[in-house]
Amino acid sequence: MKDRLPIRLAQCILVIVLLRHLAVACFVHPFADDFSYAVAGMRTDLGVRLVQEYTSWNGRYFSDILLLRGPLTLGIEEGLGLYRAVAAALILFTWLAANRFVRSLLPSATREISATIALVFVLIFLHVMPNTSEGFYWYTGAITYQLPNALSLFLVANWIGHLRSPHGTLPWRWFVVQVLLVITIAGCNEVHMAFLVIGHALLFVYLRVKEGHIARPALILLGISMLCAIVVIAAPGNETRGSNFPMRHDVLRTLAYSTAQTARFGGLAFLSLPVFILTLNFPSIRREAIARGILRPFARPLNKWLALAFPFVCLFTAMVVTYWPTGLLGQHRTVNMGLFYFMVTWFFAALVWDQTFFEPRKAYDEGVLRWPWSLVMIGASFLFLGRGMDLTWELCDGTLARYDRAMNARYEAIRTTPDGELVLPPVEWPKSLTVLRLDTSSVHWMNLSMADYFGRPGLRLIEPAPAPQE
């Protein structure tokens, strides 16, 4: 009874934080590749353009379909509302996927508990990702990386359900769903493709050792993952795209920078206040969950050091698959993706460490804080710390609304200005959204793509130089 007040308070704060992220979606605008893919989608038959993408740019056979048929192909008036709706829907879809994942792990938990745990996970991810715009609010990046993130939780949840059920003949529906998920996820980007192959290979080996015979479902899905990987890797467009990066395929550079970026972003994630508080209180939360029958201890827990390595291996893999073909980080889309799996495996490692190390030594018996109050503190940190503070402030003081009006004014200026050069009206760029701005050169591909999208190939756009800081 005494814990009910902080739990309800924490849940209210968490819902407010979620609504705040959904509200931000009402003010976002497309940029960069959004316009170039929309132009290609409007002017070329889908099948023809997919072949062109495969042979000249990349092998992402599924995400390219959604990019070439994205909301902006309807035009800015009809498409902008749908563009924003996709961002909000993807946040909610990620929460649904996380809820499905939690319920597969904790089948005895109530719906309220699983929904709350899933919400905490999604909000922590939104808090630690270095770029929420590329994560959820930029259609091109969100469809390519965040959609497969969410789908992968359904994939893993289905595997957990299968492994926990009595072995027997699997229903054909399970196979159909898993095959469709593998094909879809692998076709979104190269990093998820690699994760699917590595993950199914590890699962196959684990089941082979544990059960003493070949697990046919794991072998079949590993084979399908490898076939999908071949399709993605064999795309002739990969070589064309890679030719733009002279530092690619450098082993030492790839290993050195991948290691450095893994330490950098992994450390920043752990030291963020929500993750730090939750990690310190995780042992007491785990033990109370066991006492209530929600969670069962591991029958044979994994080696604690191997469990601790998993989060960093996930992040390192994402870095390697980025640095090897390009030689540079370039953007934070893949970091966001790596951190998604970092957070999942980080708290798995916390479970293992408590059972194998802290609990036998009677450490953290009382927790650092009473765990319901720790949830209140975590929720407050989402609102008032770091980028969360910027986001809260800019929603309240009208910065995002002014940004929306300024971008609409740009669109109108592009429509009505005669061919030639147009110095665009200045924009108050929000701190809470990291947007890739147009170049100050009128011939930059982003400037030309935006003008072309509005049907103005003869109009050269110029982005005003940023005002000097006083």
Measure the CA–CA gap between 363 and 367, rounded to whole angstroms.
Answer: 9
Q: Are 347 and 290 in contact (CB under 8 A)?
A: no
For residue 421, the SS3 value is strand
Q: Where are the alpha helices (DSSP H) in 272-370?
A: 273-291, 304-326, 333-353
The CB density around residue 261, as the number of other CB atoms within 10 Å, is: 21
Q: Report pLDDT digits (tens) over 105-129.
A: 999 888 998 999 999 999 999 999 9
The confidence score (pLDDT) of residue 390 equals 86
Q: Are 459 and 451 in contact (CB under 8 A)?
A: yes
Token output for 441: 């050169």
Token output for 285: 């939360």
Around 85, how many Cα atoms within 13 Å sit in the side-chain half-sphere?
8
37-42-48-51 Cα dihedral, nearest 10 degrees: 10
Q: Are 302 and 354 in contact (CB under 8 A)?
A: no
Q: Are 339 and 315 in contact (CB under 8 A)?
A: yes
Q: Are 158 and 168 in contact (CB under 8 A)?
A: no
Q: Are 403 and 427 in contact (CB under 8 A)?
A: yes
CA distances from 31 to 68, 407, 430 (A): 15, 11, 14
Measure the CA–CA gap between 448 and 450, rounded to whole angstroms.
Answer: 6
The confidence score (pLDDT) of residue 468 equals 57
AA letter at 261: Q
Positive/negative CA dihedral, 74, 75, 81, 86: positive
Measure the CA–CA gap between 322 and 413, rounded to whole angstroms.
Answer: 38
What are the sequence ranges of the domains in the chain? 4-396, 399-462
Query: What's the distance, CA 406 to chain centroid?
Result: 28
Q: Where are the alpha helices (DSSP H) in 109-246?
A: 111-128, 132, 139-141, 147-164, 172-186, 190-211, 216-233, 237-242
Q: Are 204 and 219 in contact (CB under 8 A)?
A: yes
The confidence score (pLDDT) of residue 349 equals 94
Element (H, E) at 11: helix 4-24
Positive/negative CA dihedral, 403, 408, 411, 413: negative
Measure the CA–CA gap between 200 and 323, rounded to whole angstroms.
Answer: 23
Return averaged pLDDT per consecutive 10 residues of the chain, 470 residues in all. 73 92 95 93 92 90 95 94 96 97 91 92 92 91 95 95 77 92 95 93 89 84 96 89 82 92 92 89 86 86 92 92 83 88 94 91 64 82 84 90 94 91 89 87 91 91 72
AA letter at 389: M
DSSP for residue 359: G
The confidence score (pLDDT) of residue 366 equals 59
* Burial (CB count <10 Å: 0-12, 13-18, 19+), residue 168: exposed
The CB density around residue 240, as the number of other CB atoms within 10 Å, is: 13
